[in-house]
Structure 1
Amino acid sequence: MSAFFGKLMQSKKNQIILFIAYVVLAGAGLFLLPDSTIAFLMLLFSILILYHLNFNLRAKWISGIVILAIIMPFIASQSDSYQTYMEVGTLVGIYCAMALGLNIVVGFAGLLDLGFIAFFAVGAYSYAIFASEQASKFMPFGHYPLPGGSFWIFIIVGAAVAALFGILLGVPVLRVRGDYLAIVTLGFGEIIRILLNNMDHPINITNGSMGIASITPPNFFGISIGSSSQFYYIVFGIFLVVIYVVRKLENSKLGRSWKAVRDNEIAAQAMGIPLVKTKLAAFAIGASFSGMMGVVFAAKQMFVDATSFTYLESTMVLVMVILGGMGSVPGVILGAGVVIILRTQVLTNISNWLSSISADYGISIPPAISPEKMQLLIFGLLLIIFALYRTQGLIPHKNRKVNVEVLKKESAEAALAREKATSGGADS
């Protein structure tokens, strides 16, 4: 049976037919069972199937965008749970972009960062302060809150401010590595959180532990954006940009420098790679992605306070990177999706199911062992299992394949061209 199935999947035509059939069946399942979490997850699972098919890269991108931007929202819109599904999709997109930013620092450059959520907080507060009346409490000029159209500018501002904080973090930690680096970044994350929680005196900048409420929602050509389905497309657009930038950086000169520093700092420095610039670039670029999503988070929630940016959230983003596969872009995306869906859908539904059993059949189930309240235990067990049996994550990182013969030919042609240029200059 397995041999027959393997032979069947060798044909690209058969793969296309089977994939389309799966998407149709999963979409029909979600349409007929609109409130079924399983049907929703089955449709999302088609993206993972698409990744493993032998399609060309452009076909995979187009198919994935069509499924996520058209098919899934359209079918989900027929359900009363439409906004819930879009909320899950929005959170997955936000954390995927954050995890990709952390993957640059941890996966590409090999710099363990335990305070990454601080950049998310910086981006969120950057928009929250000026999109509410909070700015009028300490700004001597201007009219606040700023209109919703400023949201699009603040996406760039949030990225820039977070990148600046990334550089400020990078400068003092350039001399430390390993466990010491982890301790310093952990301290940085806690310092930012405590500062945001206490910057209400002597000048009230962040409103302290009360947080900032009534944040102006974004608008697009006069259309106010407030629902999860609308934010889904904003996050989806930013997410596509982040993936494109990360893939370009991964195979660039800077990306190769990050990997060289990750593998061996001394050897990288001996080859002429500037350690200071390379590490600062990793901190700044990774932080900028988190800052952008912080702006989106503040606009979506319309309220921010320091409790949303704890060490636990930093750990959760790191779990996404490790679970998916450090250095692997598709792996990190899968890891973020798995963690968020577990938190928001699977564990919650299991807890509700156990509660209904307890109510219907009189079975006493202690609330303390509810899966929803045991998230840390479950994620801890997952990390232990993956550390023991799947050390490279769900989708391990694959180095870019290089044709040695082509490289030798290009090198020989370049050497011949230099030789001709030198001899030509000597003859003249």
Structure 2
Amino acid sequence: MTGAAGNSPSGTPVDTPDYDIGRSARCPLDPAPAMRARQAEGPLTRVRLWDGTLAWLVTGWEEHRAVLSDQRVSVDPFQPGAPKLSPGEVETIDRLKKQGKRSTGTSFIMMDDPEHARLRRMVTSAFTIKRVEAMRPPTQRITDDLIDKMLDGPKPTDLVEAFALPVPSLVISNLLGVPYDDHDFFQSNSKTIINRNSTAEQRMGARQRLSEYLDGLLAEKLVHPAEDLLSGLAERIKGGELSREEATEMGVLMLFAGHETTANMITLGTLALLHHPDQLTLLRDAEDPKAIALAVDELLRYLTITHGGLRRAAREDIEIAGQVIRAGEGIITVNETANRDPLVFPDPDRLDLTRDARRHVTFGYGIHQCLGQPLARMELQVAYPALLRRIPTLALAADLGEIPFKHDGFVYGAYELPVTW
């Protein structure tokens, strides 16, 4: 399928292909066929977005890292040329501009330095390797308790509801100081925010509800601090380092990012392993923590749940892969194709848990590389082996074609995963 006729200022051909991230029903764990086709054409190509605007598509691993580490490239969605992937996004940005705002409510992940660096360093200490490792034993207890409930409950069951979503939700709730009893509320609003089909009104409404909720919790922490991350943000408010609004936005970001992404990785990782029983056996029987860590990174590479890529805009002319990206032009770097680049990962479409995949870009690259990646890795290193060892007869309870995948989200996954044992 090609876009409407017309040339870009950079001389893009009239038959520029559409930006199509639809994954194949036959291979739902692989990158979109159209993205693989663009990758076969070269690491840097042009695509036409839904509204007729053009963007550079970066599909190669080396070029992906080059773009994301270039300070001349902006993550700010208000920046001229920043790609918008739906009418709802355009309307949201337009409404925020009319309100005089320069933030989408997603805190520092959509900001450039120096503001990005100022806010990010406020929470960096909570995600150090040492702090995260201290959370491993309680995460193991959470995981085991949930498996106990699964084994005592009916079967088949939905792995998403029974295990994949509660594990990271409980972990991030404990870290932040958010009552887990409110999980239905923050999960439903998070889904609205990351759904591509949400209207501006729906997305802004969900963000407002989460903001009000986190602001209320911060108000409590200002008076009655505890040993949690929100209390730490409250202390920074008292010290004048953060405004109340900035702290609230950071709380919203960590709450929804801390459970949504890991939940989808647990779901899809389990599905991938069930379809690769030899690899499942490797992970289930692994005793060496380093082997488990290696397996988790390969699953992160193979699945790449960030759906459709990371968006940027050039603030100055830059040269990538022999092409000049002009100031004001949009860029989409596609994580899932970078992670399947055969120049970096031989036989990239094969799931190989013995592969050293630590150079994957699932968590991004550069200054905006995911802050919570140590926590996500730890949770996956706990969740997969526990599930596979304690339920060795785990099996799918539905055909692949019956599983409802999240084709409509910025984060890929499955809404349900029926399993039995």
TM normalised by structure 1 equals 0.28
- Structure number with bigger Rg: 1
- Between structures 1 and 2, the one with greater helix share: 1
Write 1 or 2 for the structure with the bigger share of strand.
Answer: 2
TM-score by length of 2: 0.29
